[in-house]
Amino acid sequence: MNNKGFNWFIPVILGLILLIFLPGLLGDSMVKNIDEKEFYNLVEKGKVGEVMVYRDNFKADVYLTKTAKAELKKGEKKDDPLSVINIKPSPDYVLTYGDLRYFQERFEGINSKLPTKARMEFGKSQSGFSELLFTLALWGGLFALLYFFIFRKMGGGAGGPGGQIFSIGKSKAKLFDEKDKMQITFKDVAGLEGAKEEVQEVVDFLKNSEKYTKLGGKIPKGVLLVGPPGTGKTLLAKAVAGEAKVPFFSLSGSDFVEMFVGVGASRVRDLFAQARAKSPAIIFIDEIDAIGRARGKGGMQGGNDERENTLNQLLTEMDGFGTDVNVIVMAATNRADILDKALMRAGRFDRSIYVDLPELHERKQIFDVHLAKIKLDENIDREFLAKQTPGFSGADIANVCNEAALIAARNSHESVNKQDFLDAVDRIIGGLEKKNKAIKPSEKRRVAFHEAGHATISWLVEHAAPLLKVTIVPRGRSLGAAWYLPEERQLTTTQQMLDEICATLGGRAAEQTVLGNISTGALSDLERVTKQAQAMVTIYGLNDKVGNISYYDSSGQSEFSFGKPYSEETAKLIDEEISKLIESQYQRAITILTENRDKLDALANKLLEKEVIFREDLEEIFGKRAWDPELTENPVSSVDNPAEAGNVLNTES
């Protein structure tokens, strides 16, 4: 017998209703009848709590007190199993009286002598049938509401497992079409000129597809946006949605994944079915690495089959039998190295667009966009702000602008000025200033020499980043910090990296030179130089002993391998060379500081006195720096107003 489509809910509900209302069908047959004599005896004993008298049928419902009910349960009457679901409490006894006047007078005569009096009330009786209909309607309404909210709202006949109970097989994509106008266009995307040009072509493909297809060309199946976090990948996709004027489905990679087997694949099918129904359309999957990770890697086989099934379905939908050419898939990720190769091939993601961190002129454009919404001081120089934020992403710049506005409001400024922006950069990079933090004088002196060591080395070596500001006021988790303005370069030489390592070790070298011992304050410095030295030896091939060899795996598959790509002898050599490289630069830093001990002491004393020093203070002690003519053209700050310095990179002590 094929019961497909049979709804078991209805017979179950009917059975429950019958079970509940069966006592009502029998009327008063389940309640014991008593005569007037028995009733008066119960009243005399004080067992009657309430009497409901019906004038129309000469009957009365007798309700006992709690004590009397308890005695009755122990004795002759058993619990009704259905009593818990009764809407109205049933009487304990039913009485048929004669003359109402005599019955009332006799009851009042007995009741008046009792310490706790029983109540007598009068009402009109209802037939068992009408009462049953009322109760049936009430319970039926409750069950109907239950059915609607649970089985309709959460079900809805969805495809996939459990679809008749929960709509987990439905796509969670948010649809933007002509009804939901996206306010973001390409005008709101500053910088990213190359990326914008590429995605503008995609928009043109959809708007004027015949222009390309008549020449035999095919619309690209997919566009992958790759780049560091905060560079504007999702914003670019939103701009495409605003410009394309076609249905735009947006969702995250994690929206496909559920605890139930088969849900991810079902959602992929549903998503593409919706997109094909509204074609031409764009599907945007943010953080696609949640489902697009390379298959057959990472632990035991079968450990995450659900994610692999989802990916397989996505591969089939993008380039399989029956695919629609008018649906373009856009995706964004910052982990392109771990994506499955089948996903990255031509015919699926035809184009891979790299969205890099913004350059100087692009940062200026990004500032223009975000500053348009802020009430600014007249002398705000956007070029200056762009120079103070190297390595900042678009999201970081937006955060700087917002933080500057909050600082200005906190200080009751009429508009946001230059100082507010510099304070915002300080706070974002270094953390909140903690002026009330208790520090011992000896610790403060050590921090001063540590930061003075960084400043001295960075000033005296050619390729180190020029210093902007040094402070020994605690910020965030650090007791002191130094800000530098690194040179924006595409390539780095061996000498440049060595100079950077030397400058980073300058803090610990200063402690050793002046105090004769070292502390734990150089933790972040050591972590940084160790990573730099490892990269020089094992990735960039900048070591003579190891040679021109790189053990870097750009595919990202090395993390799944159980062994290292080199022998034990090579591993020992690598360790030795890393250690030798760091120690040589440490000794170089000690040598430089020893030769310039008087200047180091002067700088540390000035730092102890002022707590915050700037570029001009170093120029007073060391003279002009020979290797950064660009910076000397536009002084960052003045001694009179030291807080005007631009604070960019934080080296924690």
For residue 377, what are the contacts with CB-CB under 8 A and spacing of at least 6?
415, 416, 417, 418
3-state helix, strand, coil in the chain (%, to 5): 50, 10, 40
Neighbours of 250 (CB within 10 A): 20
Distances (CA, A) of 194 to 222, 237, 359, 393, 510: 17, 14, 12, 16, 46
Q: Which of 444, 510, 448, 455 is nearest to 482 (CA)?
A: 455
Q: What is the 3-state secondary structure (H, E, C) of 561-616?
A: CCCCCCCHHHHHHHHHHHHHHHHHHHHHHHHHHHHCHHHHHHHHHHHHHHCEEEHH
CA-CA-CA-CA torsion sign (277, 278, 280, 282) = negative
Contact 266, 299 (CB under 8 A): no
Reduced to 3 states, what is the DSSP secondary structure of residue 261? coil
Task: Give start and end residues of each alpha helix (H) in 437-561.
Answer: 441-460, 494-504, 506-515, 523-538
> Can you name the residues that pair with 614 across neighbouring β-strands?
469
User: Cα separation of 486 and 302, whole Å?
Assistant: 47
Contact 467, 618 (CB under 8 A): yes
Neighbours of 311 (CB within 10 A): 24
Q: Which long-range contacts (CB under 8 A, 24 or more apart) does 81-88 make?
A: 82/19, 82/20, 82/22, 82/23, 85/20, 86/23, 87/135, 87/138, 87/139
Question: CA angle, corner 326, sides to 320 and 329, nearest 5?
Answer: 70
Reduced to 3 states, what is the DSSP secondary structure of residue 452? helix
Contact 40, 51 (CB under 8 A): no
> Can you name the residues that pair with 649 across neighbouring β-strands?
484
Which residues are part of the catalytic machinery?
451
Task: Give start and end residues of each alpha helix (H) in 168-254.
Answer: 193-207, 209-213, 233-244
Question: CA angle, corner 186, sides to 351 and 425, nearest 5?
Answer: 100
Asked if omega into 280 is within 30° of 0 (cis), the reply is yes
Q: Report the DSSP pairing between strands 327-333 and 467-471.
A: unpaired
Reduced to 3 states, what is the DSSP secondary structure of residue 169? coil
Q: Give me the DSSP letters along 286-334.
A: ESTHHHHBPTT-SSSTTTTHHHHHHHHHHHHHHSSTT--TTEEEEEEES
Sheet containing strand 612-614, edge to edge, reads 612-614, 467-471, 481-484, 649-650
User: Cα separation of 268 and 171, whole Å?
Assistant: 7
For residue 513, what are the contacts with CB-CB under 8 A and spacing of at least 6?
453, 590, 593, 594, 597, 600
